[in-house]
A = this chain, B = another copy of it.
């Protein structure tokens, strides 16, 4: 081998990459270790050599995805200096863009957390504090803005669920939504652009006094 170090890293990394794709596409139960190995271009035994078990390998992948989800929520701290409404708009767009760049992520994480309640409670422990302070913070800002007559008085939790719904669901259900769009086969780019604008406008209308 010309470059051992590179090759070394590659084998483990190749397996991880193939596993990521496999698990994201088929879910834990639908994923097959032989297919992971073959699409990584390594023998089946290598997978067990590096990761011991399928579950182990899955956890490696899943932890990353879980972190990614947690990270996606940091967008709500963006642009603290902008005027309230502009800031909200930017936040919604940033969150939408994150989802658009990780289209398979929500369905994957939701599915796996639902079928693994023990993972769900771990995840909860990891982020519930963070989310709690986040919601409280935004609620305070929103109350302030409401006092100034900039927006309606709202329950921030409800608004956040609205945002998540509007930003995530269209990607989860994209194959089905194509049916609604029926006749005119949609350009995916155009669909994304439209939904992005729609999410923002819906929430903006909702916040109006």
Contact = CB atoms under 8 A, between A and B. Distances in A.
Interface string A159-175: 01110111011101101
Contact of A114 (B106, B175, B183): B175
Contact of A26 (B115, B166, B180): B115
A13 to B, nearest CB: 27
Interface in A156-209: 157-158, 160-162, 164-166, 168-170, 172-173, 175-183, 194-195, 198, 201-202, 205-206, 208
Copies of the chain in the assembly:
2
Contact of A179 (B114, B128, B179): B128
Contact of A158 (B164, B168, B194, B205): B194
Interface residues of A, number: 50
Given A29-B30, A30-B115, A205-B208, A161 B176 contact: no
Contact of A135 (B26, B123, B180): B180
Interface of A, helix, strand, loop or mixed by DSSP: helix
A87 interface: no
A121 to B, nearest CB: 10
Interface of A: 26-27, 29-30, 106-107, 110-111, 113-115, 117, 120, 123-124, 127-128, 131-132, 135, 157-158, 160-162, 164-166, 168-170, 172-173, 175-183, 194-195, 198, 201-202, 205-206, 208
Sorted nearest first, the 6 A-B pairs with minimum C-beta distance are A165-B169, A29-B29, A29-B30, A169-B169, A205-B205, A165-B165
